[in-house]
Chains A and B, each alone.
Chain A
Amino acid sequence: MRVVIADDAMLIREGTAHLLERAGIEVAGTADDARKLIQIVATEHPDVAIIDIKMPPTHTDEGLVAAEQIRSSHPGVGVLILSQYLEPRYAMRLLEQHPEACGYLLKERVSDIAVLADAIGRIAEGECVIDPTIVARLVRRPRRSGPLDDLSQREREVLALIAEGRSNRAISEVMVLSPKTVEAHVGRVFSKLGLDDTPDYHRRVLAVLAFLRS
């Protein structure tokens, strides 16, 4: 597993690199702005690029723009956005453009090396990962009606875990259910969201998007 890290804060950039290497993930390069990141990605072809959402020069959405650019020009490279913002809007912007091999985690996850390494692994496999805090907030939010109304409590929990990027097996472990039961739940979620006819791989992403949009 090879990654590159782009963050303009030296402490975070180098600290993350240390932790990842300690966890057995090769750090192929680091960059302190989007331009250098694109160069390194072009030469190193990492599995995943870990990108701070805000970078010089304007500190607004350079990270997101760079991520979209990488997904377009290097489809084999997954992107993981590290952000200080809880708003699902930023994650949606990323996923709507390129609903594969994308992740959106809160910045403080960098010190939670297990979560970080897990997310990187799943992104490298082409999945989408949304920060559990954001997912939890979306689950908790007050709502009146929406596409998720038909879902049972169980199914909603399953959808939330899908949104966090977990596989059916991981979900069965978390929820202490048999893989068969989980599969049945997941199938019902897809059909209630009207995603029966799409291939399984995309269904998961589309279900996440439906979840984010709700």
Chain B
Amino acid sequence: MRVSPHSARVGSELPLYESRRVACHDSVVGGSRRTAAVWFGALALGAVGAGFGLLTLRYALGGSFGGTSRARAVAELCAGWALIAVGMVEAVRRPASREGWLISGAGIGWFFADWNNAGLGSSVAFTFGLVASALAAPLVAHAALAYPTGRVDSRLDRGALVVAYAGAGLALNLLPALFFDPQRQFCALCPANLVLVASEPGLVNGIQRAGLFLGLIWVVALVAVGARRLRNASQPLRRLLWPVLAPAAGYLLLAGTDFGLSLPGGWLGDYPLAYRLRLGEAAFLVLMALGVSSTWIRDRRTRSAVVRLVMDAAQSPPPGGLRDVLAGMLGDAGLELSYPVGEPTRNVRADGQPVGAPPGGEAAVTPLVRGGRTVAVLWHRADLMDDPGLVQEVAAAARLGMENERLRAEILAQLADLRAARARIVATGDAERQRLERDLHDGAQQQLVGISLTLRLIRPRSEQVPTPRLRSLIDQADRELRLAIDELRDLAQGIYPAVLADEGLAAAVENLADTSSIPVTIAGLPPERLPAPVETAAYFLIAEASEFIGALTGAEGATVEAKHDTDRLVILITADPVAGSAAPLQAALTDVADRIGALGGQLQADHTPGGAFTIRAAIPCG
């Protein structure tokens, strides 16, 4: 499963909630070739870094006038190698991010300081030390401020970094190097300076002091922007940032102390405490490397926790399904998990219900794509994206559960469609019944009445001409017309009682009780109007039940009660006690049961111990 950032792949029905920070959300676009390139690059960098570290130990430190202690050597290598190694792993884990390379770069830059060393035998190495020795601090700050995306988004952060790079690279390294001739300036044994332009001891000292003073300023500025970044970060991002930013700040403050202590002499590191300060710096860099790697451990912990939960969920699905599990794991109560189903595609929840817009505007959309197909869509708090591993890891671990849940959601959605279709069929049938009733009453019956009237109008005329046979024929026709009108009325009433549509359930049932074959007692009916399908279903249930109770059970009477709860109509029909089984009654009521089922309701016919039949139905009135 590939978790891709919010993109146009999201279906058109899905409202697009622009994720504010999405670039950190990696996708493994390009497949294995790119992965191989990243692996190769990382390994090459690792090899170069490791070699450079050893080289530094062997030549730079080993050749130092002051010699070196074992502790110093271990500290130097630990700090540099730790950053390089962590950077390598980070580069492989998140190939689209530059962060890994930045961290490794800081690790290599850490070694540069050791090349600012008069004891080196090579003028090339010596010159390299002159122009690069102070770059470690800006490189470490860069890696920290760019964490975890590899990009420095804030302009203030970028400005501070530019000043730091300039202050270190120019004011502390290149500019003084141009005017530093070691042979003439206190260091007769030093190798040659290959970038020397002119020997100006006073200028060198002036530039160096200015650089150290400037260094104090940019170190403080970098620590300040780091603190600001931490303060402004969202909760998940802060959790992620502080293990990296705090050690980096510690390192920078020691570097600043180094600048401050060097200021009186005008030469960087030319004071007694410099050795211990360097050990402290190394310790902070090791901590920073540990800080980066701690997020991997947390990712793994999160993942294994989710895997466990998902396995639990697969065995006994929790009420809220995977959504609740993910919402809990990601700490986002408003999280929505939906599955695209059907053709044309629509997004449904695990229960098959269509998903609406998530509460609040600041949601990010993460489609979970597998084999080029979106299997699920996560709507979550946008700031979860700040922790790039989190959504990815959690979603990947939940894969199996999602597949299952998607299948279930699809079936539930189809079921909902089916139920809606059933309700539509019943509604269409009812509308047709009602139309027929109106046609019979307003059309056929009116015409028959009109003909009866016409017969009446011509009858006296036939009286004038004494033709008794014609009169008796007209009278007979009139009688038959009246019969036809009565039958038509009964027919129309049976098809759909007009009083049900005009006056409601209570009026229709009262009328039903008037004409029923057995005495029907009405124990209670809701006086208010209910949705037409509910009224119709309830009416036909009561009509058919009272008819069948009389015909099938031999009961001498029945009681009808209908109660309107908040969201459903409950109908209870009790027949007078007789011996017998409820089965034929239940079978006879299949049509009504279907009608009630189409509305999402239920019908149950029972035979109570006392010998009475009860028919209980509940119809949702939503």
Residues of A at the B interface (CB closer than 8 Å) are 9, 11-12, 15-16, 18-19, 22, 54, 59-61, 84-90, 93, 107-108, 110-113, 137-138, 141-144
Asked if residues A111 and B499 are in contact (CB atoms below 8 Å), the reply is no
Dominant SS among interface residues on chain B: helix
Asked if B436 lies at the interface with its beta carbon under 8 angstroms from chain A, I say no
The stretch that binds A, out of B223-231, B329-337, B368-376, B512-520, is B512-520
Given that A54-B442, A142-B519 are known contacts, is A90 also in contact with B482, CB under 8 Å in the complex?
no
Chain B residue contacts of A85, Cβ below 8 A: 441, 489, 498-499
Asked if residues A108 and B521 are in contact (CB atoms below 8 Å), the reply is no
Given that A111-B455, A137-B514 are known contacts, is A15 also in contact with B438, CB under 8 Å in the complex?
no
Dominant SS among interface residues on chain A: helix
Given that A11-B454, A61-B502 are known contacts, is A107 also in contact with B449, CB under 8 Å in the complex?
yes
Closest A residue, CB atoms, query B488? A84
Rounded to whole angstroms, the CA-CA distance of A142 and B547 in the bound complex is 13
**How many B residues, CB 8 Å from partner?**
41
Given that A89-B511, A113-B456 are known contacts, is A143 also in contact with B519, CB under 8 Å in the complex?
yes
Chain B residue contacts of A15, Cβ below 8 A: 450, 453-454, 456-457
Rounded to whole angstroms, the CA-CA distance of A85 and B442 in the bound complex is 11
Extra contacts besides A11-B447, A87-B499, A137-B515 (4): CB < 8 Å: A59-B438, A87-B498, A89-B499, A110-B452
The 8 Å CB contact of B489, one of A22, A86, A89, is A86
Chain A residue contacts of B557, Cβ below 8 A: 144
Given that A86-B489, A138-B514 are known contacts, is A111 also in contact with B445, CB under 8 Å in the complex?
no
CB proximity to A under 8 Å, residues B490-529: 493, 497-499, 501-503, 507-508, 510-511, 513-521
Give the shortest distance, in Å, between B576 (CB) and chain A (any CB). 10
Give the shortest distance, in Å, between A210 (CB) and chain B (any CB). 15
Residue of A11, A12, A84 with highest tally of chain B CB at under 10 A: A84
CB proximity to A under 8 Å, residues B507-559: 507-508, 510-511, 513-521, 557
Asked if residues A111 and B456 are in contact (CB atoms below 8 Å), the reply is yes
Asked if B244 lies at the interface with its beta carbon under 8 angstroms from chain A, I say no
Rounded to whole angstroms, the CA-CA distance of A90 and B445 in the bound complex is 18
Rounded to whole angstroms, the CA-CA distance of A9 and B453 in the bound complex is 12
Asked if residues B456 and A19 are in contact (CB atoms below 8 Å), the reply is yes
Residues of B at the A interface (CB closer than 8 Å) are 438, 441-442, 445-450, 452-457, 460, 478, 482, 485, 489, 493, 497-499, 501-503, 507-508, 510-511, 513-521, 557
Give the shortest distance, in Å, between B131 (CB) and chain A (any CB). 95
Asked if residues B478 and A111 are in contact (CB atoms below 8 Å), the reply is yes
Give the shortest distance, in Å, between A70 (CB) and chain B (any CB). 20
The 8 Å CB contact of B514, one of A59, A88, A108, A112, is A88
Given that A87-B511, A90-B499, A138-B514 are known contacts, is A110 also in contact with B449, CB under 8 Å in the complex?
yes
Given that A12-B449, A107-B445 are known contacts, is A19 also in contact with B457, CB under 8 Å in the complex?
yes
Give the shortest distance, in Å, between B603 (CB) and chain A (any CB). 25
Given that A9-B446, A11-B453, A59-B438 are known contacts, is A84 also in contact with B489, CB under 8 Å in the complex?
yes
Chain A residue contacts of B482, Cβ below 8 A: 108
Give the shortest distance, in Å, between A46 (CB) and chain B (any CB). 21
Chain B residue contacts of A11, Cβ below 8 A: 447, 450, 453-454
Chain B residue contacts of A22, Cβ below 8 A: 460
